[in-house]
Amino acid sequence: MSGMKKFALEEAVGHILGHDLTRIVPGEIKGPQFRKGHVIQKEDIPMLLSMGKEHIYVWEKQADMYHEEEAAEILFGLCAGPTVDRKGPVEGKIEIFTRHEGLLRLDTDSITRINALGDLLIVTRHNNSAVRAGEKIAAVKAVPLVIAKARLEKACAIAEANGVSPLLGVLPYKLQNACVITTGSEVAKGLIEDRFTPVVVKKLAAFNIGLKRHIVTGDGVEEVGRAIGEAHREKPGLILCTGGMSVDPDDNTPGAIKKSGAEIITYGAPVVPGAMFLLGYFDDGTPIAGLPGCVMYQGTTIFDLVLPRIAAGMRLTREDFAGFGIGGLCLGCPECRYPVCPFGR
């Protein structure tokens, strides 16, 4: 093995170990018994033999090669910005943790191309995942104990060519408040209880978004339109309209949003539940969304996929919504475990 010199166990005494040696006892321990840099002692021999080690590799530095931990440090440098913490390297692997909550953003193209080089690993959570402070978001590792410097140079060139540095980061949530417009004459007249708004307020609170104002209005296009104008004058970070989002003739929320002057990005999304979702933006950048009824009674919907991105200040496009179709089918599990599931992935 290039960069390493092999010794019989008895002859290795006094030499410096070139890599971590892992000990595995099922159900008890799995981890490095001897660390890189350890000077091998005679009393280490029984333990090494019990670990199946009859020969030991000692690291010998070569000008054109990197040790696995040096390679991991370079990969970490490509991936890590100033708002992450780390653990390791341990056994040639560095784990990356976020210091703050927000939306995980990846340069997926560069990461995929670097992984395709072989012998270099960048492993992450899904792009656009909502993450909390202290959570693990990625790990980097070189597969062999030693790797050619030329391979790492190619990885650095890929990252530099795409111009995205670092390759991953966490966008903090920016939105502070929202206005919620409840549409429906039956609610406005007090005939039924508004069960929609409490659900929405709870989802907003998960991203530290407060309720700036709640407006209840009837169903007509003019009525809903006036409520939207009133909400927009409050200058909230987000406007949400609940109810009246189907294609029924008396469901007027989409028409009112269109007449409000907002640019409609999508009315209809390839996600189930949530196909009748609407998103638009006013000229000042304020997003406005029409929430279909499923948001009220389904545990996870299109709203759960979109809200973290809006909260982080992303402006979504038609292409973003087109991409939701792959993985946009909720399986309706008896116990919802989102986001620990394939929905929206």
Choose one of 142, 170, 198: the last residue of a domain: 170
pLDDT at position 116 is 98
105 and 223: one domain? no
Cα 322 to Cα 24, 89, 269, 271, 311, distances in angstroms: 46, 39, 7, 10, 20
216 and 258: one domain? yes
55 and 71: one domain? no
CATH code for the domain in which residue 166 is found? 3.90.1150
Cβ neighbours of residue 159 under 8 Å, at least 6 residues apart? 78, 107, 110, 114, 165, 167
- The domain total for the chain is 3
165 and 296: one domain? no
Choose one of 41, 59, 77: the last residue of a domain: 59
pLDDT at position 1 is 46
Domain that holds residue 211: 177-323
Half-sphere CA count of 150, side-chain side, radius 13 A: 1
Residue 299 lies in a domain: yes
244 and 272: one domain? yes
Tell me which residue of 115, 114, 79, 112 sits closest to 98, measured CA to CA.
79
And the tokens for 136?
Answer: 């693990």
Residue 334 lies in a domain: no
- Mean pLDDT in each 10-residue stretch from start to end of the chain (345 residues)? 74 81 87 82 91 83 84 96 91 93 96 97 97 98 91 96 89 97 80 90 97 92 94 98 73 89 96 96 98 94 98 97 96 92 92
CATH code for the domain in which residue 55 is found? 3.90.105.10
130 and 164: one domain? yes
Complete edge-to-edge strand list for the sheet that includes strand 278-281: 210-217, 177-183, 239-242, 287-291, 278-281, 263-267
Tell me which residue of 7, 15, 6 sits closest to 42, measured CA to CA.
15
CATH code for the domain in which residue 272 is found? 3.40.980.10
205 and 318: one domain? yes
Handedness of CA 333, 334, 338, 341 (dihedral sign): negative
165 and 188: one domain? no
The whole-model pTM stands at: 0.85
Choose one of 59, 84, 106: the last residue of a domain: 59
Residue 343 lies in a domain: no
Residue 333 lies in a domain: no
100 and 218: one domain? no
269 and 313: one domain? yes
Residue 330 lies in a domain: no
